Structures are given as C-alpha cells and as structure tokens.
Amino acid sequence: MPTKLHSINLLKNKDVDFLNEFIKWTLTIGRLVVIITELIALSAFIYRFSLDRRLIDLRSEIKQKQTIVVAQRSNEAKYRDLQDRISIASNLSNLSQERHKILTDILNLTPVDITLNNLVLGKDTINIDANVSTVPSLALFINSLKNYQGIEAISIDNIENRQQTNFIIVNVTATVKKSQFDIEESPQEENLTQTELPPAEVIQ
C-alpha cells in the first residue's frame, strides 16, 4: 500500500496579509485623518468666534460714531449758517465800497454848473435829478456817464426848461453794471442800499 504524502505551503496567505495591512492603516493613518479633521473643525469654530467678536465690536463702534455724528449735527448746521453769514457780510462790505466809489465818481464827473438835487443809488439803477445851467454842460455830463465803466446804459427821462430860474431841470436814469458782489435782496434790504440827497442840499 503506497505511503500518503503530505504537502507543506511555505508561502504566506495574501488575503490575511491585506486584512492585517488595512487594519494597521486604519489604526494609524485613519486616526491621523480624524485628528486633522477635528483640528480643522476646531480652528473653524475658533475663527468663527473671533469673527463674531469683531462684528460685535464693529457694531458697537458704529453706534458710538453715530451718536457723535448726531450730537455734532446741530453744531454743523450752526457752523454752515455762520459761514453763510460771513460770506454775505463780506459781499455786502465789498458791494458797499463799490457803490460808494460809484457815487464819488459821479460827483467828480459832474460839471461845476450842474447842481444835483437828488442822487438815488438803487440795486441796478442810479436816478439823478439835477439843475443844469447850459446845454453843453448837460451833454458833457451825459457823455461822461456813458463812458463811465460802472454804468451800462443812460436814459434821459425828463427835461424841463424853466425860464424863471434860468435852469434846465433834467431827470437821468443810469443802469449800473452787475457787480460780482451782488446778492439776492429782499425789498426791505434793497431800500436800505439807496442813498438819497435832500432836495434842499446842493452838491457840486
């Protein structure tokens, strides 16, 4: 009877080795992945907490600045109003000096034989009532006014020859050129800028 032979497998079981490697990887690399994931989640939570804190601080800062702006709003309105008043006062001062120069120049342009009864300087016009001795003096006066740089146009409204007084009574209206210092005025303010000479006063 033949003898039964037994076989011996000297190679390792590949299935058993793969399972062992997978378990080893799970216990090492897998645990490391889990730890890294938890660290990322924890970092995101901390960052989110810091963002929330910054947001709260920004809202608080905005509220504080809004309170300051509201508190300064009335002061800003007063400051702007004061600036407007200063600008108006400066323009009025310059306009007054300019009008004074116009009056002085008209008086200097008046011939010696012309007597001014009324000289009214309004916002846009100058009204002159005068007694004129001779026609050439009147013509000289009118031409001087036409050539004056501050006057835009001349209109002779009335001429009356009174033989008993030997005078020619004339009424002249001159249109003043617009000034760079002109401002919008109410009727009350416009009347304040007029200068009228008393009829009895003689100016040469």
Question: What's the pLDDT at 129?
Answer: 92
Q: Fill in the amino acid letter for 6.
A: H
pLDDT digit string (tens) for 115-132? Answer: 888 888 888 888 999 998
Predicted confidence (pLDDT) at residue 196 exceeds the cutoff of 70: no
Average pLDDT over residues 45-69: 86
**CA dihedral over 38, 43, 49, 51, signed as positive or negative:** negative
The answer to whether residue 185 sits within a structural domain is: yes
pLDDT in the model for residue 78 = 83
Higher pLDDT, residue 106 or 11: 106
Instruction: Specify if 52 maps to a domain.
Output: no
Give CA–CA dist 190/66, Å, rounded.
44
Residue 118 neighbours by CB under 8 Å, 6+ apart: 127, 128, 129, 196, 197, 199
Percent above pLDDT 70 for the chain: 78
| Residue 181 maps to a domain | yes
Collect all residues with Cβ–Cβ distance below 8 Å to 98 and sequence separation of at least 6: 150, 179, 181
Q: Is the pLDDT of residue 138 over 70?
A: yes
- Please choose, from the candidates 111, 120, 112, the residue with its C-alpha nearest in 3D space to the C-alpha of residue 140: 111
> Is residue 13 scored above 60 in pLDDT?
no
- Provide the residue range defining the domain that includes 185: 108-192
68 within some domain: no
Structurally, how many domains does the chain consist of? 1
Q: Give the span between the Cα atoms of 169 and 114, in whole angstroms.
A: 10
Q: CA dihedral in degrees (157, 162, 168, 173; nearest 10)?
A: -20
Q: Is the pLDDT of residue 204 over 50?
A: no
Q: What is the CATH number of the domain that holds 175?
A: 3.30.70.2830
Q: Could you tell me the pLDDT band of residue 37, with boundaries at 50, 70 and 90?
A: confident
In tens, the pLDDT along 150-159 reads 888 889 888 8
Residue 181: the pLDDT is 64
Q: What Rg value do the Cα atoms of the chain yield, rounded?
A: 51
Q: Is 54 inside a domain boundary?
A: no
pLDDT of residue 185: 52
pTM for the whole thing? 0.50
Give me the chain's average pLDDT, please.
77
| Cα(94)–Cα(182) distance, integer angstroms | 9
Higher pLDDT, 15 or 82: 82
Residue 88 pLDDT? 85
The confidence score (pLDDT) of residue 97 equals 87
Q: CA geometry: angle at 118 spanning 116 and 121, to 5°? A: 115
Give the Cα separation of 128 and 116 in Å (integer).
Answer: 7
Residue 182 has pLDDT above 60, yes or no: yes
180 falls within a domain: yes
Average pLDDT over residues 44-61: 86
